[in-house]
C-alpha cells in the first residue's frame, strides 16, 4: 500500500493501473517488479512452485522465476530463524528448479548465486547471552546450530552442489575490506568508544556467499573466483617524484 500511495515509487513500476496488490495485502505485482509474501518455513514445493513458476497475470506466459536468467538469492537474517531442515529444503528447491532439464542445447549457462547475512557461532559465552536475551522475547535461532565457526558457514551452499562458497565475519570484513577513509566516515556518523565490544558482536555475524553454475567451463571459471576485494587506500601523489 505504501508503494502504491507513493507517486515516485509507483511511476517506476509501470503505467497507471498496471500495479496490482494481492487481496491479502501482502503482495504487489507489476510488469517490472513482484513482491510476494510467503511463509518460507513451509515446504517450497507447496508455496514457491506455483508462485514463481506461474505467471502473475493471464496476459503473461513468462514465469516469475526463469532458470535461464542469472538469479541472486539474498537472505538477510532469514535462514537463522528457520530450522536447518527447512532452510536446507528451501535452498535445495532453488537448485532443483535451476537444474530442471531443458532440451535446448543452445541455452545460456544457468547461474544461481546466494548471499546470506546472519548470526553464527552462538555456542560461546557471548553467543549464549545473545540467545538467552532473544528467548526472553520468544525468539529462537535454530538455524545457527549447524554453524559454530565461520569455516563451517560455506557448507550452507556446498552441501547443495554449489561450485564455490566462502564466508567472512563482519569483524574480518571491517578489518580487511574497509579502508581507513571509510572507517573514518563511519566513525563520524556515530561516536564509538568500545571498539572491543563492537568487534565481539561483529565476530558473531557473517556474510556467506556461493555460486551454483550449470554451463560451460568458461562460465564456471568466471564464477569460481567470485568474492570480495580487500580495501586499497589511495596513495597521496608526490609532485616531486619522478615518473
Annotated binding site for S-adenosyl-L-methionine: 39-40, 76
Cα(2)–Cα(9) distance, integer angstroms: 9
Cα(150)–Cα(9) distance, integer angstroms: 39
Instruction: Please work out, in degrees rounded to the nearest 5, the angle formed at the alpha carbon of residue 137 by the alpha carbons of 132 and 140.
Output: 60
Cα(105)–Cα(103) distance, integer angstroms: 6
SS3 10: helix
Cα(113)–Cα(165) distance, integer angstroms: 10
Strand order, beta sheet including 20-21: 20-21, 28-29, 34-35
Eight-class DSSP state of 145: T
Eight-class DSSP state of 237: P
The Cβ of residue 203 has, within 10 Å, a number of other Cβ atoms equal to 18
Q: Which grid coordinates belong to 35?
A: 513482491
Cα(15)–Cα(121) distance, integer angstroms: 48
The Cβ of residue 127 has, within 10 Å, a number of other Cβ atoms equal to 18
Annotated binding-site residues read: 39-40, 76
Half-sphere exposure of 109 (CA within 13 A, CB side): 16
Amino acid at each position: 500500500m505504501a508503494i502504491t500511495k507513493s507517486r515516485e515509487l509507483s511511476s517506476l513500476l509501470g503505467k497507471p493501473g498496471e500495479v496490482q496488490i494481492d487481496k491479502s495485502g501482502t503482495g504487489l505485482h507489476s510488469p517490472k517488479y513482484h513482491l510476494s509474501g510467503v511463509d518460507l518455513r513451509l515446504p517450497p514445493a507447496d508455496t514457491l512452485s506455483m508462485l514463481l513458476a506461474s505467471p502473475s497475470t493471464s496476459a503473461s506466459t513468462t514465469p516469475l522465476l526463469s532458470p535461464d536468467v542469472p538469479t541472486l538469492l539474498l537472505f538477510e537474517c532469514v535462514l537463522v530463524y528457520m530450522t536447518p531442515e527447512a532452510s536446507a529444503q528451501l535452498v535445495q528447491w532453488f537448485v532443483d528448479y535451476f537444474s530442471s532439464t531443458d532440451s535446448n542445447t543452445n541455452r545460456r549457462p544457468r547461474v544461481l548465486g546466494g548471499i546470506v547475512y546472519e548470526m553464527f557461532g552462538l555456542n560461546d559465552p557471548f553467543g549464549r547471552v545473545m540467545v538467552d536475551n532473544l528467548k526472553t522475547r520468544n525468539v529462537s535461532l535454530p538455524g545457527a546450530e549447524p554453524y559454530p565457526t565461520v569455516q563451517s558457514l560455506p557448507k550452507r551452499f556446498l552441501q547443495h552442489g554449489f561450485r564455490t562458497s566462502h564466508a567472512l565475519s563482519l569483524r574480518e570484513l571491517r578489518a580487511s575490506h574497509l579502508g581507513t577513509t571509510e572507517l573514518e566516515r563511519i566513525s563520524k556518523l556515530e561516536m564509538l568508544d568500545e571498539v572491543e565490544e563492537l568487534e565481539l558482536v561483529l565476530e558473531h555475524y557473517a556474510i556467506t556467499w556461493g555460486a551454483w553454475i550449470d554451463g560451460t567451463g568458461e562460465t564456471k571459471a568466471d564464477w569460481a573466483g567470485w568474492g570480495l576485494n580487500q580495501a586499497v587506500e589511495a596513495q597521496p601523489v608526490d609532485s616531486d617524484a619522478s615518473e
